[in-house]
Structure 1
Amino acid sequence: MTSAIAVTGIGLVTPGGIGAEATWKAVCNGRSTAHTDPELQGLPVDFSCRVPGFGAEALPGTHQLWRYDRSTQLLLAAATEAVRSARLDPTDWDPARIALVVGSAAGGISTLETQHRRLLDHGAQSLSPLTLTGYLPNMAAGHLTLALGITGPALQTSTACSSGASAIITASLLIDAGLCDIALAAGCDAMTTPLCAAAFAKMGALSRRTDDPAHASRPFDRHRDGFVLGEGAAVLILERTGHAAARQAPPRAHLVGHATTSDAHHATTPHPEGLGLRRAILQTLRAADATTADVDHINAHGTSTLLNDQTEAAVIRALFTSRTPSVTSAKGVLGHSMGAAGAIEAGLTIASLEHQTAPPTANFTEPDETTDGLDLVTGQVRPQNLRLALSHSLGFGGHNTVLALASGP
């Protein structure tokens, strides 16, 4: 059985807004944040979900945002909120006993694209000396350790779209191993770039509803045709329950189980029977000393792609036979924030537990055989007695990650 880890702070920066409360309200509102994106003009898919109104005001005290890739900017803002909400003060903590794990699928990809264009158009002398510190995947964690003075372990996880969830698992393992007292577990990505948009479109992963972006991301709907690129960051503060109690920090929720598996099936296509996800769910429940009958709610990966939604729904139907949990996907509102998604959705799952509410799956209008037997939350929020919830995250490469979260305190 996994020892319960307290989640004492959450910070979210998403297309739903800057801050956990703004994001929660947007997801509960059930309206997509997708719009035509000027940076993607002329591409086969020219819309995305971007964080609205993000600038220097989101990072008080930071006056040189240009030094950081956009994904790192989003991470710094989310960390500021998370630390504050956990009642932590970096000037008071022992920096050697603080750990940081950041999950990202692409690192500072925007910086890489921008500087590569400069190299091709204007030559080597045009490159910024900050190219590598903006692009290298580890530098989001590096910049955050500098900002907060963290001298404990600082790690990077990259498991595609499950990277943020992998970061949460890794952070909890650092706590269990006694290597830190507090861990910041994060996910960040800003892959709303021309290269990423063109590449995902080329492989057929993106919705082509260029005439109607607001209804493009439609998880589990009969007419889904692909996901919508998004961006964002999330930071969760994890600590041992005894440590949180000693500093009188009330848990927002508890991480009571987790698991990660690999499909070993295909580079991008999920296993047709969802065997890896199935094993991850069952391992997570064993770690949580729970059964499928104990699960009240599932925050699904729910990408709005044909195969992911079909496979994920089939696994849920097959496993949850004695009691059917409610199911929702936030990607209809927020789009797919790639490596940040697992951490963002873990934060939203905790919000569901706190508010005893399951938010709706946006843009769901017509079921098909995929949703038969699924208790999908649609239309509006659903008040519900929630004690134990799962958050699923899947990624290219056959990664399957599942978190079990229980209501606090």
Structure 2
Amino acid sequence: MPARIAGSAVRTCLGDGPATFAALLRGEDGVAPLRHQDHAAVGVTHGYEINDDRPEAFHGSHWLTACLRDALARSGVDPARQRTVALIGTGLRELSAVEDGSAFATERLHFAHAVRQAAPQTEAVHTLAGACSAGGHALALAQDLIELAEAEAVLVGGADAMTVSMLAMIGRVADRPADRVRPFDAERRGVLLGDGAAALVLVPDRGEGPGTARVLATGLSCDAAHPTAPDREGILRAMRQAFERAGRAPGEVDVVYAHGTGTALNDPVEAAALRELHGSPGPLVTAVKGAVGHTSGGSALLSVAMAVHSMEMGLVPPVTGLRDPLPEADGLRLVHGAPHAADVVTAQVDAFGFGGVNAVSLLERLA
């Protein structure tokens, strides 16, 4: 059964949801030299940081709490009156606070405290540490809870702040550090991290109430073909499963919000999977990481929120950082250079993680 997205909110280096979408339409990005890291030590010089100079730790929790409050306010859901569960996807939880040696870091490694700051009456909080597709997996489980009547509302969140360890890993896998993310570009040099959080409020889709879109289905795969490299067949399994569960055909998709990490391996593999699934010319294809960086566990939900904005405004933003599309993307309708006006009824959102932990969600605009 589809679940209605009754409210959504995000925090990125570009601001809240409307500010982020407006910047995407303008082709702007939030990349800048890292302000709080030793560039030589981590091997990375740039990132997409949220301009947040608060002295306390737990930044991911702070952004998540703000998103949950905003999304709840838009949704009209009251956890004090409606049985509400929270599912939070993350790549690294609050590891940055652990690295800083902050007090209570291990007690608040998960996000129950952050959720209950926004919604104290939430019945249960579960944190899913599922790499870069964690938010997509949380969305799939949230729809299951709605369909099985295990909850009247589900708070679906994702949050990650940059960590020294993750930055250092990125710094070790590139010959030279990237200065920005260029999804699907022939001269792409790799991914960079972005701070961020996102939250959705899901409720049963009974044909009334606030919201612009419903979640039709999410396809999942865990192919474990390689520790880090994407696998085209595993990605295609997740894509096809989403369409099977939704009872939709690939030809019905108007836009794909791609994973688009700007890495040597992901972009050609994702492009090949999209070409095989959709054929040519296929739907419009865009991606957000060139503007906001890779926001890890929250990246799937961020793309979902941006897809909802596309449905509301009839505009698909260009791929920020894309100048010369890579050869493997021939035949894809990459949105390049300027926004594309489109009647977006159905959207596909891709999210892929290390180890082949893949999630592909299908959204549909409410009539």
Q: 1:143 to 1:31 in 2, by over 3 A?
A: closer
Of 53, 59, 80, the residue aligned with 2:69 is 80
The 2-side partners of 1:283 and 1:227 are apart by 28
The 2-side partners of 1:142 and 1:180 are apart by 20
Q: What secondary structure does 2:256 align onto?
A: strand
Normalising to structure 2: TM-score of the pair? 0.95
Of 296, 300, 318, the residue aligned with 2:258 is 300
Of 207, 213, 221, the residue aligned with 2:185 is 221
Q: What secondary structure does 1:8 align onto?
A: strand
Letter in 2 for 1:331: K
1:263 equivalent in structure 2: 223
2:196 aligned with 1:232, yes or no?
A: yes
The 2-side partners of 1:363 and 1:207 are apart by 18
2:205 aligned with 1:241, yes or no?
A: yes
Does the CA contact (< 8 Å) of 1:296 and 1:325 recur in 2?
Answer: yes
Greater Rg over alpha carbons, structure: 1
- Cα shift at 1:380: 1.0
Q: 1:40 to 1:404 in 2, by over 3 A?
A: same
Q: What secondary structure does 1:178 align onto?
A: coil
2:51 equivalent in structure 1: 52
2:23 aligned with 1:35, yes or no?
A: no
2:99 equivalent in structure 1: 113
The 2-side partners of 1:350 and 1:220 are apart by 23
Q: What secondary structure does 1:24 align onto?
A: helix
Does the CA contact (< 8 Å) of 2:281 and 2:332 recur in 1?
Answer: no
The 2-side partners of 1:87 and 1:156 are apart by 24
RMSD value over aligned CA atoms? 1.8
Does the CA contact (< 8 Å) of 2:7 and 2:210 recur in 1?
Answer: no
Unaligned runs of 5+ in 1: 56-64, 116-126
Show CA shifts across 1:243-288 (max 9, x none).
x73xxx22220101111002221000012xx001111111111111
The 2-side partners of 1:165 and 1:200 are apart by 23
- Cα shift at 1:114: 0.6
What pairs with 1:287-326 in structure 2 (closer than 5 Å)?
A: 287-321=245-279, 324-326=282-284
The 2-side partners of 1:142 and 1:236 are apart by 18
Show CA shifts across 1:87-134 (max 9, x none).
2345x523xx1010000010111111111xxxxxxxxxxx62x12223
- Cα shift at 1:54: 6.8
Q: What secondary structure does 2:216 align onto?
A: strand
Q: What secondary structure does 1:220 align onto?
A: coil
What pairs with 1:6-405 in structure 2 (closer than 5 Å)?
A: 6-17=4-15, 19-43=16-40, 44-53=43-52, 66=56, 69-90=58-79, 93-94=81-82, 97-115=83-101, 128=103, 130-134=104-108, 136=109, 138=110, 140-191=111-162, 193-204=163-174, 208-209=177-178, 213=179, 216-242=180-206, 245=208, 249-271=209-231, 274-321=232-279, 324-405=282-363
Does the CA contact (< 8 Å) of 1:227 and 1:305 recur in 2?
Answer: yes
Letter in 1 for 2:225: H
Q: 1:351 to 1:370 in 2, by over 3 A?
A: same
Normalising to structure 1: TM-score of the pair? 0.85
Letter in 2 for 1:240: P
Q: 1:256 to 1:89 in 2, by over 3 A?
A: same
The 1-side partners of 2:176 and 2:278 are apart by 30
The 1-side partners of 2:124 and 2:100 are apart by 31
The 2-side partners of 1:21 and 1:178 are apart by 32
Unaligned runs of 5+ in 2: none
Show CA shifts across 1:290-345 (max 9, x none).
11111111000000001100000001111112651000010010000111101111
The 2-side partners of 1:238 and 1:76 are apart by 17
Does the CA contact (< 8 Å) of 1:207 and 1:217 recur in 2?
Answer: no
Does the CA contact (< 8 Å) of 2:258 and 2:287 recur in 1?
Answer: yes
Q: What secondary structure does 1:195 align onto?
A: helix
Q: Which runs of 4+ in 1 moved over 4 A?
A: none
The percent identity for this pair of structures is 28
- Cα shift at 1:27: 1.5
Does the CA contact (< 8 Å) of 1:207 and 1:226 recur in 2?
Answer: no
The 2-side partners of 1:143 and 1:52 are apart by 20
* Number of matched pairs: 365
Show CA shifts across 1:330-389 (max 9, x none).
001000011110111111111111112111001111123121111000111110111111
Letter in 2 for 1:208: P
The 2-side partners of 1:35 and 1:207 are apart by 17
Does the CA contact (< 8 Å) of 1:301 and 1:329 recur in 2?
Answer: yes
Does the CA contact (< 8 Å) of 1:293 and 1:322 recur in 2?
Answer: no
